[in-house]
Structure 1
Amino acid sequence: MMSVEACPVWEAHQEGESPAEVSLGSQVLESLIRNPLFIVPLQDVSKRLSLPMDIRLPPEFLQKLQLESPELPKPLSRMSRRASLSDIGFGKLETYVKLDKLGEGTYATVFKGRSKLTENLVALKEIRLEHEEGAPCTAIREVSLLKNLKHANIVTLHDLIHTERSLTLVFEYLDSDLKHYLDHCGNLMSMHNVKVFMFQLLRGLSYCHRRKILHRDLKPQNLLINEKGEGRLGLARAKSVPTKTYSNEVVTLWYRPPDVLLGSTEYSTPIDMWGVGCIHYEMATGRPMFPGSTVKEELHLIFRLLGEYPVSCHQRAPQHSAQFLHERLDTDGIDLLTSLPLYEAKSRISAEEALRHPYFGPLGERVHQLPDSKWI
């Protein structure tokens, strides 16, 4: 694992399943596009929220269920496996103890909790169901995406609990996030740590983009960090790359690209790369790149720094001046940063390309050869 220099930290489808079992299904997707309040019937929910085949069971329960016994002629069927998981407490509210409220939004509340099965801390995202007869497709969307993402730099979904009143997602608990990390470092991170966190952010994002999944809400608060400095992307608003247009209200203001601020609803993975550039700048300098309080002010800050927005799709944005960058960022760092917040979306460097940038050379070649399940 790549070390992080001292800085206080604030306390495709699975085998055996048909594509229809994994995805939302064409009817649900079409309804999501046409009607954001579409409700999935209860009889469809259980199938769509089924636990992933490789859910991480505690070793003592693996031994109890003899899931790894060579005497078993073949793997347990999905139905048998679900029944066994239910027997030991998965999928049940009483398995988890709520400790502290971490945050609350319009449709969901997040709690710090503890699992009675493992005694480990967890994060409980409780989504309120507004209609008794079904679950909102925003919740179905999140689960459908998260349950199939397995990467060291993406938050792990451990369990799902569906009741008439709520849908609870049980995530691994991480102690902090990049925003708190910056605050407790006095907004002055070591440049080694900037590089390590930037690499982890790009690694998780590249994994999502290869699977045609957008993050849509990149900000320091969504890079979760544990006490070892290991970062994982939270994906509360992850979404498949759209084939039709959607609302332009999709990204936190400071990290929102100008094309979206100006009303564009046609976007793909480059929407995330603008935010990556803003986060890189914030880590390196200790201050946000474009801290606008309104859309108008946000655009003003962007235009003042990068020049006038091109009125023609054939007009290129002005070249960046390195003068606005903090002196702590080296030449390679400046080169990477200036390839991210570009007016023309298709000109922004991709997450995969950014990982191969010379800026990350000092981390060594081995970090590029790690399997998805391993930390740097």
Structure 2
Amino acid sequence: MDRMKIIKRRLSMSLRSARPVDDSLSELAEQMALDEASTARDNGERCEQSYRCPLTVASSIVHENVKMGSDGESDQASGTSSDEVQSPVRVRMRNNHHRRISNEDINKRLSLPADIRLPEGYLEKFAMNSPPFDKPMSRRLRRASLSEIGFGKLETYIKLDKLGEGTYATVFKGRSKLTDNLVALKEIRLEHEEVPCSAVVSLLKDLKHANIVTLHDIIHTDKCLTLVFEYLEKDLKQYMDDCGSIMSVHNVKIFLFQLLRGLAYCHRRKVLHRDLKPQNLLINEKGELKLADFGLARAKSVPTKTYSNEVVTLWYRPPDVLLGSTEYSTPIDMWGVGCIFYEMITGRPLFPGSTVEDELHLIFRILGTPTEETWPGITTSEEFKTYNFPRYHAEPLVNHAPRIDSDGHDLLSKLLQFEAKKRILAEDALRHAYFKCLGEQVQTLADTASIFSVKGIQLQKDPGKRSSVYPESCKFSFKYCSTETLMWP
């Protein structure tokens, strides 16, 4: 008891922080227990140190990062400096905060790619400045940490080939100095009003899914906004061309499932794509399909022109949008899924119209001219009445896509519904009987897990495949090259 009184008295004389004395006493008690064991071995001079060491330890812990007390005197306890004695308690406390931090810890905390190259000495600096891993990291500190690594800086990326150029943007093939991986650099000039704002682009960066193209970095300067995407070899249109427009039915099923996975993830987060088409679906050498070029523009309507002044294709637009509807929701994407499904299985577009009127004629020739029974309210639509469509009768889809089985026809018909609210949801489509042969495991994949991580899932050789490799001379026509920026809901 006398020892504890002495300790408490000396602590109260030197304490300058708001930390309670009792908190420090619990640490002293632990150290004193260690000293008691040492005293049993040596009852000589060790006895004196059993008094001195705990006091030094306590003052080192309490006054860490505090230089001077309020009275102008040093907060270091008299007698022994903290540099002279490295207490096991203090060493243990300090090491618990720093020694366990590894590259993997930093990658996880900052959401970095696993193969990133951190600057020399960054690991130690991060360990000293970062709060403990059980506490949240401030947004300001996170931004500063990412900037110090090299994110948000143009000099981090090396430009290689120009892939495309339009009125508003230029796209380059590039290489990241951080990972040595290829990237696509989309430079959007900011002098035009319709370019995306950084806040909207940041939303895209939060989409983390195996079937969505990754936005690695955003670089904002006074005149240019550069989006750094992962680089993929080709798009679905090129893939179909390489197959001579004859794809394996099995591969169609795998690609369609991946498309629906990516869409379901987006729709759960209230994000729409709004311009689905084969050119916006990228494919890597593994066969992983990824959605690209999400809606980024500020305008409220579906775009009619791209950033390169190309007329946006009407082939994958639902009839309600073609007739002027602005009530955009997830069904706008599901019609496009149906059109792409048909095109993969048949090798030709379903509704290749050249104008809005021509597009609607093609739709109604196959699906039938809508009536109040098939599309409630359509007969009162001024746009619909303006065209004065003839009365087409619906044709069985099986006549146009004989390679699809009965389950496939059922899914296709549920995607190609006139009335938006009747179209099947992406989540429900994933559980359709058409995908039953893929097994149950594909239904429980983590968002970032590839479908090819499931044992037994792999692509087959396409009947019309001309080459098993991707030609290096191929000029990529996917969205990095067309430089189109789409709509955000």
Q: Partner residue of 1:41?
A: none
Displacement, 1:235? 3.2
Q: Partner residue of 2:118?
A: 61
Displacement, 1:66? 2.9
Equivalence map 1:39-188=2 (5 Å): 53-56=110-113, 58-61=115-118, 64-66=121-123, 73-75=131-133, 76-130=137-191, 138-140=196-198, 142-188=200-246
Cα separation, 1, equivalents of 2:346 and 2:219: 42
Partner deviation per Cα, 1:13-40 (whole Å, 9 max, x = no partner): xxxxxxxxxxxxxxxxxxxxxxxxxxxx
Unaligned runs of 5+ in 1: 1-51
Q: Partner residue of 2:294?
A: 236
- Is 1:197 aligned with 2:260? no
- Is 1:247 aligned with 2:305? no
From 224, 232, 249, give the equivalent of 2:282.
224
Displacement, 1:297? 1.1
| Greater fraction of residues in helix | 2
Structure 1 residue matching 2:415: 3-state secondary structure: coil
Letter in 2 for 1:54: S
Equivalence map 1:301-316=2 (5 Å): 301-310=362-371, 313-314=375-376
Tell whether the 8 Å contact from 2:398 to 2:404 is kept in structure 1 after alignment: no
Q: Percent identity, please.
A: 64
Structure 1 residue matching 2:196: 3-state secondary structure: helix
Cα separation, 1, equivalents of 2:230 and 2:334: 26
Tell whether the 8 Å contact from 2:235 to 2:283 is kept in structure 1 after alignment: yes
Structure 1 residue matching 2:147: 3-state secondary structure: helix
From 321, 343, 354, give the equivalent of 2:429.
354
Structure 1's 323 and 359: CA in aligned 2 closer, same or farther, altered over 3 A?
Answer: closer
Structure 1's 346 and 141: CA in aligned 2 closer, same or farther, altered over 3 A?
Answer: farther
Aligned residues: 318
Equivalence map 1:28-39=2 (5 Å): none
From 342, 345, 349, give the equivalent of 1:288.
349
Cα separation, 2, equivalents of 1:320 and 1:342: 14
Cα separation, 2, equivalents of 1:318 and 1:349: 23
Q: Partner residue of 2:320?
A: 259
- Is 1:275 aligned with 2:367? no
| Greater fraction of residues in strand | 1
- Is 1:340 aligned with 2:415? yes
**Higher-Rg member (1/2):** 2
Structure 2 residue matching 1:138: 3-state secondary structure: coil
Letter in 1 for 2:413: T
Displacement, 1:112? 1.1
Letter in 2 for 1:66: L
Displacement, 1:319? 6.4
Q: Partner residue of 2:84?
A: none
Which has the larger displacement, 62-71 or 361-370? 62-71
Structure 1's 62 and 350: CA in aligned 2 closer, same or farther, altered over 3 A?
Answer: farther
Structure 1 residue matching 2:140: 3-state secondary structure: helix
Displacement, 1:341? 1.1
Structure 1's 185 and 141: CA in aligned 2 closer, same or farther, altered over 3 A?
Answer: farther
Structure 1's 64 and 220: CA in aligned 2 closer, same or farther, altered over 3 A?
Answer: farther
Cα separation, 1, equivalents of 2:429 and 2:446: 18
Unaligned runs of 5+ in 2: 1-108, 305-311, 379-391, 452-489
Tell whether the 8 Å contact from 2:335 to 2:415 is kept in structure 1 after alignment: yes
Partner deviation per Cα, 1:113-146 (whole Å, 9 max, x = no partner): 1112221100111110107xxx866243641321
Partner deviation per Cα, 1:89-130 (whole Å, 9 max, x = no partner): 211111112222223333222211111222110011111010
How does the TM-score come out when normalised to structure 2? Answer: 0.60
Structure 1 residue matching 2:315: 3-state secondary structure: helix
What's the Cα RMSD here? 2.8
Cα separation, 1, equivalents of 2:354 and 2:371: 23
Cα separation, 1, equivalents of 2:429 and 2:245: 24
Displacement, 1:180? 0.6
Partner deviation per Cα, 1:161-196 (whole Å, 9 max, x = no partner): 111110101011011110110010111110111000
Which has the larger displacement, 247-256 or 165-174? 247-256
Q: Partner residue of 2:458?
A: none
